[in-house]
Amino acid sequence: MEAKYRLATFAWSSVANVTTQADINREIDQLRGSGGPQPRLDYPPYRSSVLRHPTRDRQLVDPEGVELWAPCFGAADVDDAEADLTIQRAGEPLGERMVVTGRITDGDGRPVRDQLVEIWQANASGRYWHQRDQHPAPLDPNFVGAGRCLTGADGVYSFQTIKPGAYPWRNHVNAWRPAHIHFSLFGTDFTQRLVTQMYFPGDPLFDLDPIYQSITDPKAREMLVASYDHELTTPEYRLGYRWDIVLSGTHRTPLEEQ
């Protein structure tokens, strides 16, 4: 009861738009560990979630028909060049060139092969190629920030890009997002669909960010943080990050597979 009352009070202070980082930190602290390994849909520190989360429990159902299968993508959909975000425009983008690669597996450890991966991100200054982004940081005419690829037979994806910058948003006063790359993923059945964000190791903004903290289990949160991998770093060219992704389990039996 006490926690509920206090959250209601915080919601009022947001109406007056005077919510500070300290207020948000207190709310984040109160909700620590309160959810499972998936993000809480009802997470008031992320203000935009207040009117957009379902209040009823999700209905558990056995998947059937199309839900047991995922849409197929292939060479007709994705050009190899789309995996390199640094060659989309006439010139070289500014910022720290990097590669991010990893293996996508399903909840049973099997590689997710020949499947679509999409990413989008801010440029090195923390600015998106998007009308709605009013952050007074420069756009880079040589960096759009969207890419696609297909995984290989081993479930491995790879993108060459520029390390994105942190950026401000208006959740509360002086709110900043840790640097991240948005990832959209498909598995081998529709129930594995995942859109998430990849973060960079050691970001000082982690503790302050209500989107990252909407996953209240620290072990689960850490699954979204890539690791720096010197083996992937290329001399005098680019830094390497590794980020492996585990999707949820499949429901289709091996028999249906054939």
Partner 1 sequence: MTFAPGQTVGPFFHLGLPFEGGNLLVPTAHPDAVRLHGRVFDGEGAGVPDSVIEIWQADPSGRVPRGTGSFHRDGFTFTGWGRAQTDGDGHYWFSTLIPGVTEPGRRPFIAVTVFARGLTDRLFTRAYLPGDEPEALLDGLEPGRRDTLIATREERGLLFDIHLQGEGETVFLSYPRQAR
Catalytic residues: 128, 167, 177, 180, 182
Is 230 a residue that touches partner 1 (CB under 8 A)? Answer: no
Residue 254 interacting with partner 1 (CB under 8 A): no
**Judged by CB under 8 A, which stretch of 10-18, 68-76, 86-94, 234-242 contacts partner 1?**
68-76
| Window contacting partner 1 (CB under 8 A); options: 9-17, 88-96, 156-164, 219-227 | 219-227
Which residues 6+ apart lie within 8 Å of 3 measured at CB? 30
DSSP state of 7: H
List of residues 6+ apart from 142 with CB closer than 8 A: 88, 89, 90, 91, 92, 93, 94
Task: Determine the Cα–Cα distance for residues 3 and 19; give it in Å rounded to an integer.
Answer: 18
| Cβ-based nearer residue to partner 1, 190 or 233 | 190
* Interacting span for partner 1 (CB under 8 A) from 16-24, 88-96, 213-221, 229-237: 213-221
Segment lying near partner 1 (by CB under 8 A), choices 1-9, 18-26, 33-41, 152-160: 33-41
DSSP SS3 for 179:
coil
Q: What is the nearest approach in angstroms of partner 1 to the Cβ of residue 191? A: 4
Q: At its nearest, how many Å lie between partner 1 and the CB of residue 37?
A: 5
Residue of 28, 128, 140, 151 that binds partner 1 (CB under 8 A): 128
CA gap 229, 239 in Å, rounded = 8
Residues between 173 and 192 that touch partner 1 (CB under 8 A): 182, 184, 190-191
> Cβ distance 147 to 82 under 8 Å?
yes
Asked if residue 158 lies in contact with residue 86, where contact means CB atoms within 8 angstroms, the answer is no
Cα gap 69→63, rounded to integer Å: 10
Provide the pairing of β-strand 239-242 with 175-177: unpaired
Q: Which of 108, 138, 207, 227 binds partner 1 (CB under 8 A)?
A: 108
Q: Is 54 in the site for partner 1 (CB under 8 A)?
A: yes
Q: Using alpha carbons only, what angle is made at residue 72 by residues 67 and 76, rounded to the nearest 5 degrees?
A: 160
- Rule CB under 8 A: is residue 221 a binding residue for partner 1? yes
C-alpha span between 102 and 157 (Å, rounded): 6
Kindly state the smallest distance separating residue 199's Cβ from partner 1, in Å: 9
The nearest distance, CB 234 to partner 1, in angstroms, is: 25
Our CB check for partner 1 shows the closer of 10 and 169 to be 169
Site for partner 1 in 153-172 (CB under 8 A): 169
Is there a contact between 96 and 163 (Cβ–Cβ < 8 Å)? yes
DSSP 111: B
Query: Which residues in 3-32 contact partner 1 (CB under 8 A)?
Result: none
Q: How many residues bind partner 1 (CB under 8 A)?
A: 79
Minimum distance of partner 1 from residue 17's CB (angstroms) = 17
Contact 36, 218 (CB under 8 A): no
- Does 66 help bind partner 1 (rule: CB under 8 A)? yes
